[in-house]
Amino acid sequence: MIKTLRMMTALGGLLVVGTGCEELDGLDPYLPQVTFQELAVDDVDWTGVESRFVFNVHNPNPVGINLARFDYALAFEQVEWLAGDSPEGLSLEAEGDSELALPVAFEFTDLYDLVQALRGVDDVDFALNGSFGFDTDWGPIDIPYAEEGGFPAPRKPDIQYNALRLQELSFSGAELALKLDVDNEHGSNLLFRNMDYRMSLAGVDVGGGFLDELGEVDGASTRTLSVPIQVNFADVGLALYDVLTGDRLTVDLDASMDVDTPFGVIPLELNRSGQVDLQR
């Protein structure tokens, strides 16, 4: 999936090294102009992200100009994450715009070891600063930039067994509902849909089903969602009947679903096994 977050730019002024200010009088119309264009999130899931900080560099001159230097420092929640410089120059088109992208990809476990995404928010604050350097006849010219914004911080929803509700029991079959407690740490709601699942009760495969929509969980909250299951004793045997007259049993659930998040649709796999209280 691709999602693009657009932010306002906050460029600083020009930093000129190695030349007197009087020599630069009247040069402003000829200096390249750098603007922060977007934070492009090319791919994101529950484990990691691939993104690009994209800049637009405008060259007003009738001839091409080479970008000699590009350095950067990226911090999350005021903690430095990475810093460096790019030795590869960029050739700016004459009287045109050129794009420069800083790719950033990592695993969220590495990020969350460094900073903590707070409950009730969808992202972590980032700060990106550095400079673009050009070598000119008047000496080196460096154009600084400083950007701030929000970086996507998905956290996998926590899903736990609540109970197995026995809605109907007869010698021919049973109707049940597996109750799942779903916790959403984000500020935005999460919608769980297109759920394809299969279930075993006390080691007996009782089949599965498909739900167009499992349910929606509000931001920074926990909600109990229900997964229906129908058991036909002619298919699985009457031994399960005795199990369903008890108070507790082992439930195995294998499921896949789509989750609508503030960052787009992210697939979610659920494989869980454990003892569950049987409610009537």
Whole-number Å distance between alpha carbons of 81 and 247 = 51
From residue 229, alpha-carbon distances to 62, 174, 175, 223, 240 in Å are 71, 8, 6, 20, 14
Sketch out the chain's domains with CATH numbers.
3-152 (2.60.40.1820), 158-279 (2.60.40.10)
Residues 6+ apart with CB under 8 A from 25: none
Question: Helix (H, G, I), strand (E, B), or coil: what is residue 113?
Answer: helix
> If you write DSSP's letter for every residue of 138-158 in order, what string do you get?
TEEEEEEEEEEEEEE---PPE
Q: Judge whether 245 and 208 are in contact, CB under 8 Å.
A: no
Residues in the chain: 280
From residue 37, alpha-carbon distances to 11, 34, 143, 259 in Å are 11, 9, 16, 29
| Per-residue model confidence (pLDDT) at position 13 | 34
Nearest by Cα to 31 from 14, 53, 44, 54: 14
| Per-residue model confidence (pLDDT) at position 12 | 32
The structure tokens listed for 114 are 């460094």
Q: Residue 109 CB: number of other CB atoms within 10 A?
A: 9
The DSSP call for residue 190 is: E
Tell me the average confidence (pLDDT) per consecutive run of 10 residues in the chain, 280 residues long.
32 36 59 88 95 91 84 94 80 85 92 89 95 82 91 96 96 96 98 98 95 98 98 88 92 98 97 96
Q: Judge whether 257 and 248 are in contact, CB under 8 Å.
A: no
> If you write DSSP's letter for every residue of 223-248 in order, what string do you get?
EEEEEEEEEEHHHH-THHHHHTTSSE
Question: Helix (H, G, I), strand (E, B), or coil: what is residue 280?
Answer: coil
| Per-residue model confidence (pLDDT) at position 259 | 99
End-to-end CA, the chain: 43
pTM assigned to the model? 0.82
The DSSP call for residue 22 is: G
Q: Is 130 left (phi over 0), alpha (psi -120 to 50) or beta?
A: left
Nearest by Cα to 180 from 125, 242, 225: 225
Q: Which residues pair with 199 in a beta bridge?
A: 207, 253
Nearest by Cα to 176 from 209, 223, 203, 217: 209
Residues 6+ apart with CB under 8 A from 29: 60
